Amino acid sequence: MSAEEPDRRSTSGPLRRHPSLDDRFDPAVRIVEYDSAWPAMAAAELRRIGDALGDVAVRLEHVGSTAVPGLAAKPIIDLQLSVATMEPRELYVAPLERLGYLFAPAPESPGYHFFAKPPERPRTHHLHVCRTGSDHEVDHVAVRDFLRAHPDEAASYAALKREVVARHPRDRLAYIDGKDAYVTALERRAVTWARGL
């Protein structure tokens, strides 16, 4: 099965880890200056997803670095779809595949599903599907809002991303690994801030 072909087991039965999750080379692993067109691009895509899913889409959000004004980022729009329940998957997988998204399951993360568009790299959109009220939903929104409210934190995050990309250009696995500890700590600070603690 190529990355462009949907996994016909994606809506029923056990999930297999999608091979694209282990791709190392990605031309989109580069940091660009903030683009003021990103919010409109995200809003247009969220409308398409909402129209395709109807009531299945409980909440749709623009998340990630492209959702933070002024923050340098990879040129990939991160979106989040919250659903009432992760099962049955056929409620959202097939409609998203019809919109051009690749379902890239990771069985080790049953409470969260990843979709990418287009199926081949470089991609323009990442879509994170999670259950309403889950830690995944809360963390993504909290980080976005925290970075929007704290320009110093956003600047530190941008500096880290530039440093990691400079050391490992176009290497997505090294990029993920290079940010991991920082992002984990950032999520903790953001959730604490969001809860007013």
Within-domain flag for 10: no
Number of domains in the chain: 1
- Summarize pLDDT for 11-40 with one digit per residue, the tens: 567 899 999 999 999 999 999 999 999 999
Within-domain flag for 13: no
Within-domain flag for 38: yes
Place of tokens 């659903």: 83
Within-domain flag for 9: no
- Summarize pLDDT for 88-137 with one digit per residue, the tens: 999 999 999 999 999 999 998 888 999 999 999 999 999 999 999 999 99
Within-domain flag for 12: no
Distance in angstroms (rounded) separating the CA atoms of residues 186 and 178 = 14
What CATH number is associated with residue 181?
3.30.460.10
Within-domain flag for 164: yes
Residues spanned by the domain of 121: 19-194
Q: Which sign, positive or negative, has the C-alpha torsion 149, 59, 37, 161?
A: positive
